[in-house]
Copies of this chain bind each other. A is one copy, B any other.
Amino acid sequence: MGSTAVLAGAVTAPGELRAAAPAPRLRRIATEEAFMMPEMYEAMKAMPREAMANYDLRFMYRMAHAAPGDDERRRLDSLLDIEHRRLEIMDEFGVDMHVLSLTSPGVQEFEPEEAGRVARATNDRLADIIQRHPLRFAGLAAFAPQDPKSAAQEMIRAREQLGLNGFIVNSHTFDEYLDEEKFWPILEAAEGTGGAIYIHPRAPGASSAAPMRNYGMEGGFWGYGAETGLHAVRLILSGVFDRFPKLTIVLGHMGEGLPWWLPRLDDRTRAANRLGTADGQLRMLPSEYFKRNFLITNSLFRDALALRYSIDRLGPENVMWSIDYPYGPTAEAVTFMDTVDISDVERALIYHRNAERVFHIPPVSTG
C-alpha cells in the first residue's frame, strides 16, 4: 500500500492525484450509494400532506416539496442525478464504482400495486445506466415486500434478465419483518439467484417508535440503527438461516450494532438452551450465522477502533466500504479508508474484493 499516503494527501488536491500517483492503487467500490428515479419522486409528490404520519413519510414529503436552494432540494437533486455530477465527484476523489440503491424508504410506504410499478421502473432504468457505465456503476434491485410473491418475481427478473447485482430493502414494511413466513418467497428468491439483500435502515414503525419521538431520535441518531439491528436479530433468532443457508444479508453503518452484541447473543443462546435441532432451536450460534450469512459496510462510520473490532470479530472478508452518498461526504470516506491502520490485504478486501465477490462485480485491474 505504498501509494496510500500520496493518495490520502491527494484527496484535497485531486489534480495532483493523477499527476503524482501513476502507481497502481486499490480499486474503490462504494457499496451503499443512494439514488432516486423519477417514478419514486412522482409518487412522493403525489402523497397527500395529511398522510405524513411517520418519520419516513415526512422525510419524503419534505424532500418532494422542498424549495430550490433548500438543503433537501439539493439532496433530492443529488439523488436524481446519476450520470453527471455524481460521476464528477467520483472522479474527483478516485471512486471507481458506486453500488447504487434506491433511497430509503424506497417503495415501502406506497400502496402494493404502485410500489411494484415503481420498483420495476426503477430497476429497468438502473439496468440501462449500468449498461452505459459498466465500470462505474453496479446496482441493487428494488422490490415491494407488500406483495411477497410479486416481489420474488421481480427479484428473479432483476437478477436473471436485468443482471442487477443484488437487492435493497429498507427494514420493516408496515411494521412487518422479513423473518415472517409470508416473506419467505423473498428470501428464497434472494438465495436462489445468489443476490445478497442489503437491509438498509429506515425509521422504526408505529409499533416501536414512541420512545424515539423525542430529540429527533427516530432517524440517524438512534432509530435507524435500533430498527435495522432488531431486524437482523429477528432473522437470526427465527432460524431462517437454517431454512435458507446460502442467503446473504448486508448491513450498513458498521453492522447496525450486531458486531457489538454478538457475544451477548451467543451467551443468551447458550444459557437459554436455544442451540439444538428441535423446533425453535438454532443449529448454530448467532455469531456463526452472522459470519456465514452477513456482511457489513462502514457507511458513516469512519472510525478506526470500530473497523479494527469488526475485522477481528467478523474476519476481513465480511467488511465492505461505503460512502452513503449523498448523505455522507466522499472525501472523508476515501481519506479514512486510505489511511486507517489496517493491513494491505484487509484494505483490498474492504475496498473492493468483498464487494466483487458478494455483488458479482467482475474484477478489473486498475492503475
Listed A/B pairs (26) with beta-carbon separation below 8 Å = A175-B211, A205-B211, A208-B210, A214-B237, A215-B238, A217-B233, A220-B267, A220-B272, A221-B264, A221-B268, A221-B269, A221-B272, A222-B230, A222-B265, A225-B264, A226-B230, A254-B260, A260-B260, A263-B303, A267-B300, A267-B302, A305-B309, A305-B312, A305-B313, A306-B309, A308-B309
A15 to B: closest C-beta gap in Å: 28
Per the bound structure, the CA–CA distance linking A204 and B209 in Å amounts to 12
Residues on B with C-beta less than 8 A from A254 are 260, 264
Are the C-beta atoms of B220 and A300 separated by less than 8 Å? Answer: no
Instruction: Report how many copies the assembly holds.
Output: 2
Is A301 positioned at the interface, with any CB of B under 8 Å from its CB?
Answer: yes
Are the C-beta atoms of B220 and A264 separated by less than 8 Å? Answer: yes
* A260 partner, pick from B177, B216, B257, beta carbons under 8 A: B257
Are the C-beta atoms of A211 and B234 separated by less than 8 Å? Answer: yes
Known: A225-B264, A268-B220, A300-B264. A212 touches B230 (CB 8 A): yes
Chain A binding surface, main DSSP class: helix
Tally chain A residues at the interface, Cβ within 8 Å.
52
Per the bound structure, the CA–CA distance linking A261 and B253 in Å amounts to 10
Residues of A within 8 A of B (CB): 172, 175, 177, 179, 204-205, 207-212, 214-217, 219-222, 225-226, 229-230, 233-234, 237-238, 253-254, 257, 259-261, 263-265, 267-269, 271-272, 300-303, 305-306, 308-309, 312-313
Residues on B with C-beta less than 8 A from A234 are 211, 214-215, 217
* A211 partner, pick from B230, B269, B308, beta carbons under 8 A: B230
Are the C-beta atoms of A257 and B253 separated by less than 8 Å? Answer: no
Residues on B with C-beta less than 8 A from A264 are 220-221, 225, 253-254, 300-301
Per the bound structure, the CA–CA distance linking A271 and B225 in Å amounts to 17
Per the bound structure, the CA–CA distance linking A357 and B172 in Å amounts to 45
Among A226, A230, A269, A301, residue most surrounded by chain B Cβ atoms (within 10 Å) = A226
Residues on B with C-beta less than 8 A from A205 are 211
